[in-house]
Amino acid sequence: MHSEIIPIEPIENTIFDYIVVTPEAFVDHPSFGTAIIARLTEREGNTVAVMAQPQNADDFTKFGAPKRAFLVSGGVVDSMVNNYTVAKNRRAEDVYSENGKYGLRPDRAVTVYCKALKKAYPDTPIVIGGIEASLRRFAHYDYWTDSVYPSILADCGADILVYGMGEVPLVEILSRLKNNEPLKGIKGTAYLTDKNGLPPSIKPFTEDGTGNEKYLYCHSFDEVKTDKYKYALSFKLQSENSNPIVGKGIVQRHPCNQYLVCEPPCDPISTAELDKVYALPFTGKPHPSYRGRIPASEEIEFSITSHRGCFGGCSYCALTFHQGRMITKRSKVSIIEEAEKLANDPSFKGYINDVGGPTANFRNPSCKKQLKAGVCKNRQCIGFSPCPNLEVDHSEYFEILRELKKIAKVKKVFIRSGIRYDYLLMDKNCKKYLKELCEEHISGQLKVAPEHTSDKVLQLMNKPSFRVYKEFRALYTEENARQGKKQFLVPYLISSHPGATLKDAVNVTEYLRSVNYCPEQVQDFYP
């Protein structure tokens, strides 16, 4: 698939097998889910078009109806988070649009797009996925209206939802659509049905909160929308069953005698398959029809994704619910091949901006037990009270960084996605790796996320004690002084956490003043 046949404008007399719909400018880079879905769909023998940022009814009909389905995403960022600050003020810029123009992405983009497509083509299947759909697959709290919404499937009318990282279920969906087979029963998906459409394995439906060997029942939409305790119990159940090895499916009753069936999580994508995904013929560039810059594409153009998943388990973070706690890594060969491709790009200046993922220095599963039993239901791998089974090893990650440096035309390899400093401190070779980090892989500043100074708040966040941050800061300062470098440590902080008091906020201020640091940004807590 060449970039010119993923058109912004229609190609005359062409009927595509699939049309991918996105609220963002199309950037053919694997850091953007839309690009991965488009390339993977084409790899499976299909013709694909991308409908980028449709604005009106005519835009939704430019390509006509696809032969098989529309594939709809809300983009890299949830549309409401992208459009509004935590204070519910409209943002002035959308870095995922040409020249950062704001206003091309509708609020609740997935729902808006699906309704428009269903109106134009009521008989064409719609598959939704991405973080906006994934995090709204069950009845969920909506911050902007301060109320509980039903599953996004109840609002948008799509036929099936893919949750989490979607390559594995997508390939199965593409196969079934090609063969005119039903879409029910696919791991990693969710759908709405009436009582008669429930899987045979959960009939008769009892709704007694127990379930069977494959499915569990969580509290209904009518219950969770008015009872905070039942909402919390339901979310706990959903979180505990996000484990791809032993997690069960979950059924939730919705209005109008509808039932949300969330199938068990899909099996993790293998390293071999992940390598194949990143080897697809991405151009790495915005679509050639754009005349202006796409701000979000500039930082990642010469960055490399090394893995997926995060066992950090921060209690405020959506990553666990979307990508999961189990790490899936790309092979060293795959990463080096991508770097060599970047180095041969005419616009490459010699700097690889980042090699990482949700957490740059996580490379392997947190312990060997995960490979057999998955992640623990009631035990976190790392955080305020790290698990004694946690295995800490940076050797492979730094070996990859060293290999990347040897590539012709590569001057520097930076780490900008942030590291877990507590994980680095746990390594028996911590000082060796910190020395190498400061010497080779920092472009003036290193981003870390202590998030707060109060241990009471940090325990609620499942972040390490502030003592750990101060220990790392001292070692980092000492190492940079030894090397004669003036490199800064940039701490990310969260304000307005529900577990924090005014006294806790004052303590943060007093600490920052004591170290003569004035942060340029502080993230206000998003519920």
Q: Is the pLDDT of residue 370 over 90?
A: no
Q: Is the pLDDT of residue 371 over 90?
A: no
- State which amino acid sits at residue 165: M
Dist CA 349 CA 351 (whole Å): 6
Average pLDDT over all residues of the chain: 92
Smallest Cα–Cα separation from 16: which of 54, 48, 52? Answer: 48
Q: Helices 33-43 & 271-278, crossing angle to 10 degrees?
A: 100
Dist CA 83 CA 42 (whole Å): 31
Predicted confidence (pLDDT) per residue in 283-314, tens digit: 999 999 999 999 999 989 999 999 998 999 89
pLDDT value for 86: 92
Residues 6+ apart with CB under 8 A from 196: none
- State which amino acid sits at residue 26: F
Q: Is the CB of residue 313 less than 8 Å from the CB of residue 365? A: no
Q: Provide mean pLDDT across the span 216-227.
A: 95
Dist CA 173 CA 169 (whole Å): 6
pLDDT value for 110: 98
Phi first, then psi, for residue 307 (nearest 5°) are: -165, 175
pLDDT value for 1: 37
pLDDT above 70 coverage of the chain, percent = 95
Among the residue ranges 43-52, 111-120, 451-460, 516-525, the one predicted with the least confidence is: 516-525
Q: Provide mean pLDDT across the span 73-93.
A: 94
Q: Provide mean pLDDT across the span 235-244.
A: 89
Smallest Cα–Cα separation from 188: which of 64, 322, 18? Answer: 322
Q: Is the pLDDT of residue 7 over 80?
A: no
Q: Provide mean pLDDT across the span 99-120.
A: 97
Predicted confidence (pLDDT) per residue in 61-76, tens digit: 999 999 999 999 999 9
pLDDT value for 3: 39
Banded model confidence at residue 50, pLDDT cuts 50, 70, 90:
very high
Predicted confidence (pLDDT) per residue in 493-506, tens digit: 999 999 999 999 99
Q: Is the pLDDT of residue 4 over 50?
A: no
Query: Within 395-465, where are the H helices?
Result: 395-405, 421-426, 430-440, 455-461
* pTM (two decimals): 0.93
